Amino acid sequence: MPSSRDDCVRRVLDIFEVWNRRLHFYIGLYLLFFLWLFAFTGLLLNHPGWTFAEFWPTRKQTAFERAITPPPVGPDLAQAENILKQLGLSGEIEWTSARADARRLDFRASRPGHIFEIKTDFDRERATVRRIDLNVWGVMHILHTFTGVRAGDSRNQRDWLLTSIWAFTMDAVGIGLMIMVLGSYYMWWRLPRKRAWGLVALISGWAVCLLFVVGLRLLV
Q: Are residues 21 and 90 in the same domain?
A: no
pLDDT string in tens for the chain (220-residue length): 556 777 787 888 888 888 888 888 899 899 999 988 888 888 888 888 888 888 888 899 999 999 999 999 989 999 999 999 999 999 999 987 788 888 999 999 999 899 999 999 999 999 999 999 999 888 888 888 888 776 666 677 788 888 888 889 889 999 999 999 898 888 888 888 888 888 999 899 888 888 888 876 676 5
On whether the pTM is more than 0.85, the answer is no
> Do 26 and 126 sit in the same domain of this protein?
no
- How would you class 120 by CB atoms within 10 Å of its CB: exposed for 0-12, middle for 13-18, buried for 19 or more? buried
The range of the structural domain enclosing residue 39 comes to 4-46+168-219
Q: Are residues 103 and 139 in the same domain?
A: yes
Question: Looking at the structure, do residues 61 and 91 belong to the same domain, yes or no?
Answer: yes
Clarify whether residues 155 and 174 are in a common domain: no
Question: Is the alpha carbon torsion for 156, 157, 160, 162 positive or negative?
Answer: positive
129 and 193 belong to one structural domain: no
Q: Are residues 66 and 131 in the same domain?
A: yes
Do 56 and 121 lie in one domain? The reply is yes
Q: Are residues 203 and 104 both part of a single domain?
A: no
Round to whole Å and give the CA distance between 105 and 28.
46
Q: What is the domain count for the chain?
A: 2
Residues 19 and 103 in one domain: no
